[in-house]
Amino acid sequence: MPIRWALLHLLLLSTTTVLGASHISRSNNRIVNGIPIPIRDAPWQVSIQALGHHICGGSIISSKTIITAAHCVFYIPAILLQVRTGSKYWNRGGQVINVAQVKRHPNYGTNPTKNDIALVRLDKRLKYSRNSYRIRLAKETPESGAAASVSGWGLQKENASVGSRDLQMASLRIIDRATCQMSKYAVLGNKVAKGMICATSSASDACQGDSGGPLVVDNQLVGIVSWGIGCARKGHPGVYTDVALYREWIFKYMKRRE
């Protein structure tokens, strides 16, 4: 037991160091000014956990595969990870399944905001139900102005210390990459590069604890919560991994493993 807790302490420290500074560039995000929803409204949503502690969100894309952000699982061995699905609570209910393997994008690492995508293979198939079901992957980058939603169990306001136990959802609008780059990110030297998309709202956002979770348009997964500066700050849209650009890599992995 002491070894397990030492490992947990180490991985939480490493996660905080790399991901937790949402005010810098990494959005270990949470839902700010969202509303609580039943899991059936987002049955693809999962909680990725390390030794029973929620660390990130993710989305079901098959009965054996979860998609999330690479930064969520960068330092953590698969043996320490579990996924909870089918519950609006991250800490009870639904199905809890151990992780067999984590596959980060091969080009992730040098710049932790680029290629921020990973696939998590479960050690057994999850059981589909109205509360636990896969989401389709977008084939194209969403158009600017499209209505979107983001969900998760993260903090509900910036600098809070505890995330939500109930699943939260916020409504956003997609903005094009050029407009996003001309926001306050440009002044701070943060590049919104190819493979990223942005979404914003006057008051809602993702933040700590929501990283890896789904950005959804028309019931399709268009983005993965990746990074941002602060949470719901004016002039700082949330930045997401553009799922459509990674479809080939995703399906190539799934074809080999399932």
Per-residue pLDDT for 161 more than 50? no
**pLDDT cut 90: percent of the chain above it:** 59
pLDDT: which is higher, 231 or 46:
46
pLDDT, mean of residues 38-59 = 96
pLDDT: which is higher, 196 or 34:
196
Cα three-residue angle 170-211-68, rounded to 5 degrees: 110
**pLDDT cut 70: percent of the chain above it:** 74
Cα three-residue angle 105-150-212, rounded to 5 degrees: 25
Alpha-carbon gap, residue 6 to 29, rounded angstroms: 25
The per-residue pLDDT for 141 is 97
pLDDT, mean of residues 161-181 = 83
| Structural domains of the chain, with CATH | 2-20+43-134+246-257 (2.40.10.10), 136-244 (2.40.10.10)
* pLDDT tens figures, 206-242: 555 689 999 999 999 999 999 876 564 566 788 999 9
Alpha-carbon gap, residue 131 to 117, rounded angstroms: 24
The per-residue pLDDT for 17 is 34
The per-residue pLDDT for 110 is 76
Residues 163-173 as b/e (b if ≥16 CB within 10 A, e otherwise) read bbeebbbbebb
Q: How confident is the model at residue 73 (pLDDT cuts 50, 70, 90)?
A: very high
- Whose tokens are 């109930």? That residue is 166
Cα three-residue angle 50-161-51, rounded to 5 degrees: 10
Average pLDDT, the chain: 82
pLDDT, mean of residues 195-214 = 76
Q: How confident is the model at residue 193 (pLDDT cuts 50, 70, 90)?
A: confident
List, by residue number, the catalytic residues: 71, 116, 211
pTM for this prediction: 0.85
The per-residue pLDDT for 19 is 37
Residues 56 and 68: beta-carbon distance below 8 Å: yes
Per-residue pLDDT for 119 more than 90? yes
The per-residue pLDDT for 56 is 94
* pLDDT tens figures, 19-45: 333 333 444 334 556 789 999 999 999
pLDDT: which is higher, 46 or 161:
46
